[in-house]
Every structure is written in C-alpha cells, then in structure tokens.
Amino acid sequence: MKYLFDAVLVPSETMDTHDCRLVVDLLRASTQMTTFFEYGGSKLIPCADSDEAFRMKAEAGPGWMLMGERGGVMVPGFDYGNSPLELTRRGAPENAIMTTSNGTKALLAAASGCPEVRIACARNAEAAAWDALCSGRRICTVASGRNGKFSIEDAVCSGMIIEKMLALAPSNGGTEMELTDGALTAMALWHHFGPDLASLCMESEHGRILQELGFGEDIFFCAEIDSSAVVPYYRRGEKYGSIASG
Ligand code: MLT
C-alpha cells in the first residue's frame, strides 16, 4: 500500500485532496485541545471568534464554558484561557466552546473538504501519527502559523509527526511512501531544529510573546514529546462541528 505525506506550512495554502489532516498549533491551541480531553473534558466546539462563542453559549445553555484567547490572554468574559497548565491545575470543564487566534481557525479550514481531521501536537505526536495512518493513505499536516504567517514551531512539529508516520507506516501495510515538497521541508526543519522543542519554542516569535505574558511554563509543557495517547478528532454536526476524543 502506498502512503502520500503532505504538509501545509500555513493554512492559507491551497490544500490538495487528503483522506486525513492533522492540525498542528504547538503553541498552544492543539496542545490545549489535547490537554482538555486528557484532563476530563468531553466535548469541545471550535468557533471562529469571540462574538460567535458568546452567541453559541447563549444558545447552548449554562453547562457550557467559554475557553480561548486573543493576544495570548483569556478573552474578557470567558471562563478559561488557552493555557494547558491552567487545565492541569483546574481540571477541564466537561463542555467548552473554544476560539483562539489561529488554532481554531486552522482547524475549521482543515475540516473543509476533508473527511478525517485530527488534532496533533508534540504531546500526542506518535499517537496522532498512528491514528492518521489508520485513517487513510493521503495524509497532510496543517501548521496553524500565526496571523496568517509561518510559525517555525508548527512546521518543526509537523516534520516530527511526518517522520513518525514514515517509521510507523510499514506496520500498517505501507510499502511505498511519497512525500510532497511541503512534507520534505517540514522534515528537514525537524532534522535541523529537533529534538529540543523547548529551546526552539523559547526562541520562536510566539514563544517570546508567551514568555513576556508570563506563560513560559506552558512552553515546557507544550514541548514534551509523546507524553499523551489522546488524539482528539473533529466531528461534523448538523449545526456546529465539534471535537471529541476516544
Ligand atoms: C493560537 O491559536 O494562536 C494560539 O494558540 C495562541 C496562544 O498561544 O494562546
């Protein structure tokens, strides 16, 4: 069986047809989504902006919490920010509506025209790689970037996941692998900057902003590789799509 591995380095790139896309926002939205399920959350609805989030909460009722950020900090009136360490300390709410500056937007873009979408980060890298291999043959990582621009940490994390898929594919019947230019680039970046993701994230533009905001500890948490087996997936809904796990 032949696998094709592709990588989109900013979500505005034209996306080819894929069976499965892995959305990567290492700092911090895809880590936050993974941690949400790891710490007891059961349903997450991603949405594009905070006005929509408030509207959805008014419709959904009191059992729903608002989670997310703008400029890295909790949106005024929300219940949780976008800090995975906050979730580890407080525990995750059961149900949340989530909006972030880039990660939730990248997820909604990736979900358009692709049957299977997974949430991937460093913490669940190997589990997400295996899940994707079991979900189709044409697989693409989607790096969320920042404000429409390239983010080094998302590209490097994507390259790590692609390398894991290459290593694991034969165990799922893969006999031939093709890599696009995007995938080759992401892997080359991983080979250059990995495996010390914490140092890379500290130096990255977004990492420096997070440190200034006092979220330096989040970076170490986000940079841990393969510490979680949780792979959240996107589920289409009649009214809203949602993210679930398990
Ligand atoms: C985003 O979606 O841009 C991020 O997750 C921002 C953040 O670090 O909170």
Q: What is the pLDDT along the chain (246 residues), one digit of tens a residue?
A: 999 999 999 989 999 999 999 999 999 999 999 999 999 999 999 999 999 999 999 998 889 999 999 999 999 999 999 999 999 999 999 999 999 999 999 999 999 999 999 999 999 999 999 999 999 999 999 999 999 999 999 999 999 999 999 999 999 999 999 999 999 999 999 999 999 999 999 999 999 999 999 999 999 999 999 999 999 999 998 888 999 997
Whether 243 is in a domain gets the answer no
Give Cα separations from 144 to 41, 54, 58 (angstroms). 23, 24, 28
Complete DSSP assignment for 182-243: HHHHHHHHHHHH-S-HHHHHHHSHHHHHHHHTT-HHHHHHHH--S------EEE--SS--EE
Instruction: State residue 238's pLDDT score.
Output: 80
Instruction: State residue 192's pLDDT score.
Output: 98
Instruction: State residue 11's pLDDT score.
Output: 87
Q: How far apart, in whole angstroms, are the C-alpha atoms of residue 132 and residue 130?
A: 5
Are 123 and 224 a contacting pair, CB within 8 Å?
A: yes
Q: Which residues contact 239 (CB under 8 A, 6 or more apart)?
A: none
Question: Cβ of 71: how many Cβ atoms within 10 Å?
Answer: 9
Instruction: State residue 153's pLDDT score.
Output: 98
Helix H or strand E segment including 34: helix 29-38
Instruction: State residue 77's pLDDT score.
Output: 97
Instruction: State residue 62's pLDDT score.
Output: 86
Instruction: State residue 129's pLDDT score.
Output: 98
Are 197 and 226 a contacting pair, CB within 8 Å?
A: no
Tell me the CATH number at 10: 3.90.1560.10
- State how beta strands 2-8 and 176-179 pair: parallel
The gap from C-alpha 131 to its chain's centroid, in whole angstroms, comes to: 14
Domain that holds residue 7: 2-231
Whether 242 is in a domain gets the answer no
Whether 187 is in a domain gets the answer yes
**Residues in a beta bridge with 5:** 139, 179
Ligand 1 atom, smallest distance to 104 CA: 2
Whether 107 is in a domain gets the answer yes
Number of domains in the chain: 1
Ligand 1 atom, smallest distance to 32 CA: 5
Q: Please work out whether the CB of residue 102 comes within 6 Å of at least one atom of ligand 1.
A: yes
Whether 50 is in a domain gets the answer yes
Instruction: State residue 165's pLDDT score.
Output: 98
CA of 100 from ligand 1 middle (Å) equals 6
Whether 112 is in a domain gets the answer yes
Instruction: State residue 217's pLDDT score.
Output: 98
Instruction: State residue 163's pLDDT score.
Output: 98
Please choose from 101, 105, 209, 212 the residue to mutate so as to test ligand 1's pocket, defined by most ligand atoms within 8 A of CB. 101
